[in-house]
Amino acid sequence: MEQQKGNSELLVGIDEKISVGRSILLGLQHVLAMDLYIAPIIIAGLLALDTSNTTFFVQMCFLAAGVATIIQTGFGIKLPVVQGPSYVPIGALAAIGGKLGLGAIYGSLIPGAILIALLGYPLKIFAKTVVKIIPPLVGGTVIVIVGISLMPNAFNSIYSAPGHLGHNVIIAAVSAGVLVACMILGKQAKSFGTFFRLVSVILAIIAGTITARLFGKIDFSAVSDAAWFSLPKLFPFGAPVFDMSAILTIVFIYLIILIETTGTWFVVSKVTDSELTEKRLNKASFGEGLGCFVGTLFGGTPMTGYSSNAGIIALTGVASRMAILAAGFILIALGLMPKLSALIISIPEPVINGIFGIVCVAIVMNGFKVIQHIVVDDRNMMVIGIPILLAIGVTVLPKDILYSLPDFANYLLSSGTGIGAISAVVLNLIIPPEKPKQNLQNAG
C-alpha cells in the first residue's frame, strides 16, 4: 500500500515499551473517550429489551470490544486500533430482531464474520482488493468522511441529552475547551507540556464531570445497584437462527463495515506513520472477522475500528500498542464487572460528546493530510467532493423518511460513512483520469 508519508509528532511509537501503570492510564483514557455503549443502548431500545437485559447487552458489547481489540492490536493489524460496536448495522439488526427474533440476529452475524476473516486468511484477497480500489485519494477521502459523518452525532447527543439544553451546551463546551487547552499546552509548554498532552482526555472528562455535577446532572444510583462480578455465557439471548435473507443482508452490511474500518486503518497508519502492507491488511481483515465472530458468541454486535481513538493518538502523541492492549483488558473487565460498566455509563453524554467533537476535527484534519499532496483537478475534485456531499445528505436524512423506506434501503442509508465510502470507491473506478496537459512551446 503506497502511503503519503507524514511528519510524525508522536511522543511514543507503536512498538515502544511503556510501564504497566502508564499503559493502564493511557488505555483508560481511550476507553473513557469512547461512546461504545451508545450503539448497543440504541439497539436494545429498538428491540424493546428490559432494563436488566439492556445492561447485560451493554456489558457483553464491552467484553466483545475488549476481545476484538486484543485480537486486532496484538495479532491482527498490529497497530494501535481500538475495536467497538459499529453504528452501521443498527437499523438492520433492529429490523431482523424485530421480525425474526434475537436468535436470527446472531444467526446472521456468524456467517458474515467468518467471511470477513476468510478474505484475509487463508484467501489473502482483501489486501489486493484494497490496493486496487482504495488508493490514497480514496483513503484520505474516506477518513474525511468518517470525521464529518460523526460530527452531527456529537451535536445531536448534546442537544438531546436529558436536562436543560443550555446546561448541556456549557458542559460540552467546558469539556472541549479543556481538551483544546491541554493540546495547546502540550505543544507550547516546556516542562509540563508532555504531561498535559498525555492526560488531555482524562483532564477534559474530569472538568466536564465536575461541571455536570454543579448542574446536578450526575446520577450514580446505577453504580450502587450493579453487581461486582458477572460471568459471560455462550449465546445469552438464545440459540442462533439461520435465515437466508437475514444472512445476505448482514453480509452486505459487513462489507460496508469493512470499508468503514479500512478508513480507520488509514487514519491510524497516517497518525503513526506506519505502512499498510499487504500482509498487514490481510491480517487486519482476519482479525476483524475473528473479533466479530468471538464477540457474537457472547452476545456482542459487529465490531469496527474506532476512528475516535486514532484521533486521540493524534492529540496525545502516544501510539504504543501496550496502551491499546491495556484498553482491551479494561474493556474485558468492564464486561465482567457490571459495577464498572455502570460507572462508565454514568458519565454524562455532554461530557463525552464535547470531547468527541474535537476528536472528529482531528480525524478530518488527518484525512486532509493524506490527500494534501494530490493534484485536485476536476476529476479528483468530484471523487473527493461528491462522496462528502452524499455522506452529509444521508446524515441529515429525516428519520421518518428513513424508516419509511424498504428494509434494504433503510439498512444502506443508515450510515453516512458507508454511503460516502462506497461512492468514493465507485467514483474513483468509473471516472477516467485526466490526461496530463502537454506544454506547448512557441517556435522562434
pLDDT, tens digit, 9 for 90 and up, residues 259-291:
778 878 877 888 888 888 889 999 999 999 999
Instruction: Say if residue 338 is preceded by a cis peptide, omega within 30 of 0.
Output: no
- Closest listed residue to residue 311, CA positions, set 386, 259, 369: 369
Q: Cell 434501503, residue?
A: 409
The predicted pLDDT at position 131 comes to 78
The predicted pLDDT at position 6 comes to 43
The predicted pLDDT at position 387 comes to 93
**Could you report the per-residue pLDDT of 419-443, keeping only the tens digit for each?**
888 899 899 999 988 776 655 444 4
What Å distances lie between residue 269 and 79, 95, 370, CA to CA?
8, 35, 10
The predicted pLDDT at position 27 comes to 87
Instruction: Give 284-311 as a DSSP string.
Output: HHHHHHHHHHHHHHTT---EEE-HHHHH
The predicted pLDDT at position 438 comes to 58
Which residues neighbour 126 within 8 Å (Cβ) at sequence distance 6 or greater?
Answer: 119, 120, 258, 281, 282, 284, 285
The predicted pLDDT at position 293 comes to 93
Long-range Cβ contact pairs of 125-133 (< 8 A, separation 24 or more): 126/258, 126/281, 126/282, 126/284, 126/285, 127/1, 127/277, 127/278, 127/279, 127/280, 127/281, 127/282, 127/285, 128/278, 130/1, 130/262, 130/276, 130/281, 131/1, 131/278, 131/281, 133/425, 133/428, 133/429
Give the separation between CA 356 and CA 26, rounded to whole angstroms. 17
The predicted pLDDT at position 3 comes to 44
The predicted pLDDT at position 189 comes to 60
What Å distances lie between residue 55 and 38, 82, 342, CA to CA?
12, 22, 8
27 and 327 Cβ atoms separated by less than 8 Å: yes
Give the separation between CA 258 and CA 108, rounded to whole angstroms. 16
Report residue 380 as a C-alpha cell: 479528483
How many Cβ atoms sit within 10 Å of the Cβ of residue 370?
24
The predicted pLDDT at position 190 comes to 60
Which residues neighbour 24 within 8 Å (Cβ) at sequence distance 6 or greater?
Answer: 326, 330
pLDDT tens, N- to C-terminus, the chain (444 residues): 444 444 456 778 888 888 888 888 888 878 876 667 767 776 776 677 776 677 788 888 889 999 999 999 998 899 999 898 887 677 678 778 877 888 888 999 999 999 999 999 888 898 888 878 878 788 788 878 878 887 887 888 788 888 888 888 999 999 999 988 887 877 666 666 666 766 777 788 889 989 988 888 777 777 777 778 888 888 888 889 998 878 888 887 788 778 778 878 877 888 888 888 889 999 999 999 999 999 899 888 888 888 777 777 877 788 889 999 999 999 998 888 888 777 767 778 788 788 878 878 877 887 787 788 888 889 999 999 999 999 899 888 887 887 787 766 776 676 677 788 889 989 999 998 877 665 544 444
Angle between helices 338-345 and 321-336 in degrees, nearest 10? 110
Give the separation between CA 282 and CA 287, rounded to whole angstroms. 9
The predicted pLDDT at position 421 comes to 82
17 and 322 Cβ atoms separated by less than 8 Å: yes
Identity at 107, one-letter amino acid code: G
The predicted pLDDT at position 8 comes to 53
- Closest listed residue to residue 302, CA positions, set 47, 99, 39: 39
Identity at 37, one-letter amino acid code: Y
Tell me the Ramachandran region of residue 295: left when phi exceeds 0, alpha when psi lies from -120 to 50, beta otherwise: alpha
Give the separation between CA 428 and CA 138, rounded to whole angstroms. 7
Q: What is the DSSP code (8-state) at residue 142?
A: H
